[in-house]
Structure formats: structure tokens, C-alpha cells
Amino acid sequence: MRNCQVALQPRVPRQVGRNKPISPRSELDGWIIYYWHLGFPDTKIADHVLDHFDRAVYGLSYKSVQRIRKILKLKGTVQQAATFDTITEIYKVIRGRFPTMGARRMVTVIRQEYSIRVPEKLVNDFLRHVEPEAVEKRKRGRFKRRRFWSAGVMEYWSIDQHDKWGRFGLWLHLGIDPYPGRFAWLKVWWCNRNPRLLIHYYLEAARKIGGIPLLTMSDAGRENNGIANMHTLVRHQLDPSLHDTLQHRFCTDKKNIKSEIGWSQFRAQCAPGFEDLFDFGVNNGLYSPSDPLENLVFRWLGIPWLQAEIDKWMNMYNSSYRRANKHKTLPHGIPDLIHAKPERYKSQNFQIMISTELFDEMQQEWAPHDDPVFQLTPTSFHNQANNHYGSLGRPAVSRGTFWDIYNALLACFQQDPVNATLEEEFNLANLGADQGMDLLPGFRQLRLGDEVVGDGVVLHGAYDEADFTDSEMEEPAYAAEFTDDEAE
């Protein structure tokens, strides 16, 4: 018998599309999952996934996406074949969290949190069946147009505080990139007017993306001077040509438009469920924000849970489409994608890259981590609360359990001898809540409509506004994303 030898050849990756192999599954699957949860069809998933790989080396067809989706058990809308029964229990959970959420946002939540694709028409029909009056009420809300111009991604961040939860001892703050309409941060804390706290929000958001905007913008207020000062000095350090200008715009007469729209979206979609929950406790004598012990127990238990819920909503908001608007000339699309891939939207990214070392210097100088404002509660109280919470079995906090856990935790403190210095510690912990900061002198302040020059970039900004109705309805809120309109 004749002996034959077969030379072993190196394994060649499976060829797809134009004889290009797909990228390794260990790197590929995560991006397919990400874009599937954004609601993209297979052809669009394939196209966007390749942005993360070398297109000269790798290829990806929509057929390959279909095959991998099947392995990952990511079914399409038709394959899901959802019915009213599919979404009934999910609807109850979502409605508990978001009492006023409309069909379009609900479709996004179901897809992103439950990995179920359902048609918007099915959800619309379901809502008309179970809450017809609420649907009609959402349809009646309307926004009046306000004009907004922006040059590109990361031209600036617009920042603003929100005080409507002060009755609960909770204070909110946001930063938003106006061009894509993307939240850079949305935070809840026991104060929102300490400059070091706001600087920390800025630095935390900037670290995540590796850079800072050209400018910052806010309403007038001493609490905003911290970000204005720090941002200005860093910009001067990186671009000495800006030496005589404050790299922050102070808005007057309610012209901080995008922040106002951001708060309107939050109040329409996310806030009502939490307001109902906390109002129940205040109105029924369970919680008094002015009582030091009750305030600290509420703060210790509520803020971490509430921030996690707000983060979920913010991520959903940043990763979902806005309602189409023919008057809007800024990009239509998902804010996260406009930020990450501005070239796909014929846009420019003005982000200024910052080294880790410079971020560390900024943090240490302007918002050191050992500042008391970053403590949720005094250390001694935290240790005691943590022990009591452990004795309760560390139950999971949710809308349905919050007040029960709060009452049990409060009872633990009331049964033990209360720290005699508790009220003193409470007062000390809140000393810096409203601490302001002076604006650096000697810099020319930028006004709306000023020409901005730096880093070889010339930008022009302008505003024109009409009345704005702060509707609580979710669906019309999409129409509030008005931006650069046609000239009058």
C-alpha cells in the first residue's frame, strides 16, 4: 500500500463577503449584542460592527449576523411573535417605574432590559386597551419651538441644577452635549450647589470619554464658577492663544435651552414614579427631611438605589432614537452613536483629548476625594447603618420594598442608643451644601453670539427662542428636540 503524507496547513478563518474573514467571535459578539439592543436590523448591525475592526482585513455580512444572533438567542421582531400576553407582566413593572412613559420609550426599555423585540404598534394597541385616557392625555401635550444652534459634537457641555426634589432632601444636576442631545451625566445627591461636587461630575464624565469639550455653559450662579474656572485654566494650559477669555458661557433670560429640555424629558419620563413614591412617605409621616436621623437613613438607603435607577434611564435615553422632525437640521439619530461616530452624520467632534495625569491633577486641585461633600453620610453613621442593614439580611431595594426597608432600618437606630453627636455631625456634613466660588478675575466673558477662536477652530453660536411649554407628557417631548431651524 502506498504511503501518503498530507502536510498540515494552518487553519484559515472562514471567508465571508469579498473573501474577507469575520473577526474573532470573542471580540465580535459583544458588538452584535450592543447594536441589536439599539434596535438595528441585521444589515445595519453588520455595517456598524465593522467600524470597530479593520475593514481592510475583516468583513461581515448580514447573513453572518443572522447566524450569530441565532447562536446568541437574539430573536428578531417577527421571530419573537410577541402578543399582549408577552408584555402584560413587563408592562406592570415598567409602569410602576415610569407612570407616564409612552409606547416608543416602552419599546426601547423592553428591548434593552428584557431582550425582547416588540413592534411599536403592538405596544400602542396594548396601551390604548389598558389605559385609553392616559394615551389621549399624552397626545394633548405640546411643545413650542425654541431655536438652538451648535457647531458639532463636544463643542460644549451645558450644565444645570434641578431643585424640585428639594422637598425630599434630594438635589439633581446634569451635563448635556447639546449637538447630539446626549447626557454626559445626570446625578442625584444631598446637595447640588457645591462647586467641588459639580467639578467632580464634570471630571467623572470627561474621564469616561478621555477628553473635555471646547466650552462649558450654564446659567449664572456662584456654584457654576468652579467648572468655569477649572475648564478655563485647562483650556489656557493647552492653548495659550485663549489666555484672555473665560472658556465658559453664562446664559441669561432662560437661554440654557438644552438643559431645560433635558430636565423636561427627565420630569416627563423618569421623575413621576419616584415623586409618587417619596411623596407617599412624606405625606404619611414616614419621613421628615428636616429630622436629622430620618434624613440620614433616607439618604443612606435611597440615593445609591435612586442613582442606579436614574443611570438606567439615562443610558436608555442616550441609546434611543428621537422622534423624526423635518425642521431639525442637527443630526437625527441615537445620541451615543452621534457622539461616537460623528463622521457618519457629516459632523465634527471638537473633543479635546486629556491625559490621565492631567485628569488626576485637576481632580486633586479642584475636587479632592477626601472633601466632606463626597460623603453620603458621616462615617460613624455609615458604619452603624451598614451593620443594621446587615442584620436585616441586606434586602434588595425597589419601589415595592423601599419604605419597608426604611422603616426597619430607622427602627434599628431608634432601638440602639443614638449617637449623641448625630445632629452635630448632620449639620457639619451639610455645611458645604451651598458653598459658592468666586469667578477668576481678568478674563473676557463669552456671550451668546460671540465668535470663539482656539485650536485653529472658529465657531459661531446664536440663539433665537419662543415660548416653551414644560409638558409632563412623554410622546410630545420628542418634538422638543428642536435645534437649528431654517432662517426667518
Q: Give pLDDT, residue 447.
A: 59
Express as a percent the part of the chain with pLDDT over 70: 80
Q: Please answer whether residues 385 and 377 qualify as being in contact, where contact means their C-beta atoms are separated by less than 8 angstroms.
A: yes
Q: How many CB atoms lie within 10 A of CB 328?
A: 17
- The cell numbers describing 376, all together, are 453620603
- The cell numbers describing 117, all together, are 423585540
Residue 448 sits at φ, ψ, to 5 deg, of -60, 130
Residue 214 DSSP symbol: S
Kindly state the helix (H) or strand (E) to which residue 233 belongs, with its residue range: helix 225-238
Residue 376: is its pLDDT beyond 50?
yes
Q: Please answer whether residues 287 and 294 qualify as being in contact, where contact means their C-beta atoms are separated by less than 8 angstroms.
A: yes
274 CB burial (10 A radius; 0-12, 13-18, 19+): buried
- The cell numbers describing 116, all together, are 425582547
Residue 11: is its pLDDT beyond 70?
no
Q: What angle do CA 318, 177, 320 make, to 5 degrees?
A: 15
Which amino acid is located at 68 in the chain? Answer: I
Question: Cell 449623641 maps to which residue?
Answer: 420
Q: Which range is most confident: 329-338, 380-389, 422-431, 456-465?
A: 380-389
Which are the contacts of 339, defined by CB distance < 8 A and separation ≥ 6?
A: 153, 154, 177, 180, 182, 209, 349
Which are the contacts of 5, defined by CB distance < 8 A and separation ≥ 6?
A: none
Q: What is the mean pLDDT of the chain?
A: 84
| Band of pLDDT at residue 436, cut at 50, 70 and 90 | confident
Give the separation between CA 221 and CA 229, rounded to whole angstroms: 13
Q: Please answer whether residues 317 and 265 qualify as being in contact, where contact means their C-beta atoms are separated by less than 8 angstroms.
A: yes
Alpha-helix residue ranges (DSSP H) falling in 371-447:
379-391, 402-415, 422-429
Domain 152-440 sits in CATH at: 3.30.420.10
- The cell numbers describing 171, all together, are 438635589
Kindly state the helix (H) or strand (E) to which residue 120 belongs, with its residue range: helix 120-130
Give the separation between CA 21 and CA 15, rounded to whole angstroms: 4
Q: Give pLDDT, residue 449.
A: 52
Q: Which of 182, 178, 218 is nearest to 198 (CA)?
A: 218
Residue 214: is its pLDDT beyond 60?
yes
- The cell numbers describing 62, all together, are 448580514
In whole angstroms, how large is the CA radius of gyration of the chain? 26
Q: Please answer whether residues 348 and 304 qualify as being in contact, where contact means their C-beta atoms are separated by less than 8 angstroms.
A: no
Q: Give pLDDT, residue 356.
A: 96
Q: Please answer whether residues 461 and 446 qualify as being in contact, where contact means their C-beta atoms are separated by less than 8 angstroms.
A: no
- DSSP letter string over 241-295? GGTTEEEEEEE-SS--HHHHHHHHHHHHHTHHHHHHHHHHHHHTTS--TTSHHHH
Q: Which range is most confident: 4-8, 73-77, 453-457?
A: 73-77
| Band of pLDDT at residue 258, cut at 50, 70 and 90 | confident
* Sign of the CA dihedral with 257 first, then 263, 266, and 267 last: negative
Which amino acid is located at 165 in the chain? Answer: W
Q: Is 71 helix (H, G, I), strand (E, B) or coil?
A: helix
Q: Please answer whether residues 197 and 374 qualify as being in contact, where contact means their C-beta atoms are separated by less than 8 angstroms.
A: yes
* pLDDT top residue among 411 and 140: 411
Express as a percent the part of the chain with pLDDT over 90: 63
Q: Please answer whether residues 459 and 151 qualify as being in contact, where contact means their C-beta atoms are separated by less than 8 angstroms.
A: yes
- DSSP letter string over 133-168? HHHHHHHH------EE---SBTSEEEEEEE-TTGGG
Query: For 221-248, what is each residue's pLDDT tens digit?
Result: 889 999 999 999 999 999 999 988 999 9
Q: Please answer whether residues 218 and 198 qualify as being in contact, where contact means their C-beta atoms are separated by less than 8 angstroms.
A: no
Q: Please answer whether residues 188 and 343 qualify as being in contact, where contact means their C-beta atoms are separated by less than 8 angstroms.
A: no
Q: Give pLDDT, residue 422.
A: 67
Q: How many CB atoms lie within 10 A of CB 421?
A: 12
* pLDDT top residue among 443 and 42: 42
